[in-house]
Amino acid sequence: MSIPSFQKWMAPLLRRLSDNEGHRIADLYDELADDLQLSDADRGELLPSGASPTWKSRIGWARTYLKKAGLLEQPARGLLRLTAEGAKVLSERGDAIDVAFLRTIPMFLTWHEAGRRGNSSESDVDDRIESAESPEDTLERVSRRLNADLAQELLERIKSAPPSFFEKLVVDLMLKMGYGGSRADAGRTLGKTGDGGVDGVIDEDRLGLDVIYLQAKRWEGVVGRPVVQTFVGSLAGMRANKGVLITTSAFTAEARAYVQQIGAKVVLIDGEMLGKLMIQYGLAVTTVATYEVKRVDSDYFDE
């Protein structure tokens, strides 16, 4: 199942507090995850930034919104408790608690509108999207969209560049990822094939204790299983049991299934992943702006 949006946690959170007792925030996370039947995979999913589990982030924003609406309070450090107004809303509305409803509460509306006025273009935001996402979800969504567009632009530039550029790019990427030692070492190990790609072995570590067979070409069509089988057959001749096959196009489902069945460790990198890796490791891209998202350090207040 997909992880519920932050709004979907609002009513379950209020229900957990409906005994009017103070509940430890740390305990509520797991209790709510059980209530909404999150799988182990759901609980292990991180925000794209890797900063925290997605589900915990969404519970955190649900708590913030409900607190700003006066439906719950924090009577002591690390504790949450339902307010009288929260009990009334839960009794009257049940699961029908979302941002649209919270905006009918004056104290919440004042806070929410103040935050939206922080951006002069906020009035152009699609309210259906804005109300369905937490602010952190919005940042992550916009970041994913920008990176997807950037990766596509990188791939288009690679395809239109001369073959020698692609050969250099592949070596540079492997070095950025920590393989091959120095550029001189990688240049000696990775021989040019003369057909718009590189073919050879590269050190997995700086001491050369293990090697990886690498093949990278700008194939025009999708790469099928026969190409991958030929690549795997070349591993033994290159004294390697690990391989990386890179293409600017895509791999068929049969090709991907094949590498899961063999003994050798083979990684397939298609054009989409190539663009993502270039962004991740800062190759051929430059940072335009950096935004830091900070949260309260609870440990500081618990000391």
User: Where, residue-wise, is CATH 1.10.10 in the chain?
Assistant: 6-126
How much is the pLDDT for 196? Answer: 61
Q: What is the pLDDT of residues 151-186, one digit of tens each?
A: 988 998 898 888 888 888 988 899 899 888 777 778
Residues 142, 61: Cα–Cα separation, whole Å: 18
CA atoms within 13 A on the CB side of 217: 15
Q: What six digits make up the tokens of 141?
A: 């969504």
How much is the pLDDT for 195? Answer: 63
Assigned fold of 157-280 = 3.40.1340
Q: What is the pLDDT of residues 3-47, one digit of tens each?
A: 999 999 999 999 999 998 899 988 999 999 999 999 999 999 988
Torsion of CA 234, 236, 237, 240, to 10 degrees: 100
Band of residue 59 on the pLDDT scale cut at 50, 70, 90 = very high
Q: Which residues does 111 contact at the CB level (< 8 Å), separation at least 6?
A: 68
How much is the pLDDT for 130? Answer: 47
Q: What is the pLDDT of residues 65-86, one digit of tens each?
A: 999 999 999 888 788 999 999 9
Band of residue 133 on the pLDDT scale cut at 50, 70, 90 = confident
Query: What are 245's strand-pairing partners?
Result: 215, 268
Listing DSSP states for 87-130 in one string gives HHHHHHHTT--SHHHHTTSHHHHHHHHHHHTTSTTGGGS-HHHH
How much is the pLDDT for 185? Answer: 79
**What is the arithmetic mean of pLDDT over 238-263?**
92
**Are residues 7 and 62 in contact, defined by beta-carbon separation less than 8 angstroms?**
yes
In degrees rounded to 5, what are phi and psi of residue 161?
-80, 160
How much is the pLDDT for 132? Answer: 61
Residue 148 predicted with pLDDT over 70: yes
Least confident of 34-43, 110-119, 230-239: 110-119
Mean pLDDT of the chain: 85
**What is the arithmetic mean of pLDDT over 260-279?**
94
3-state secondary structure 120-186: CCHHHCCHHHHHHCCHHHHHHHHHHHHHHHHHHHHHHHHHHCCHHHHHHHHHHHHHHCCCCCCHHHH
Q: Which residues does 68 contact at the CB level (< 8 Å), separation at least 6?
A: 102, 107, 108, 111, 112
Residues 131, 98: Cα–Cα separation, whole Å: 8
> Minimal CA–CA distance to 205: which of 235, 242, 236, 234?
242
How much is the pLDDT for 210? Answer: 84
User: Where, residue-wise, is CATH 3.40.1340.10 in the chain?
Assistant: 157-280
Residue 203 predicted with pLDDT over 50: yes
Within 10 angstroms of residue 292's Cβ, the number of other Cβ atoms is 4
Least confident of 134-148, 182-196, 277-291: 182-196
Indicate the CATH number for domain 6-126.
1.10.10
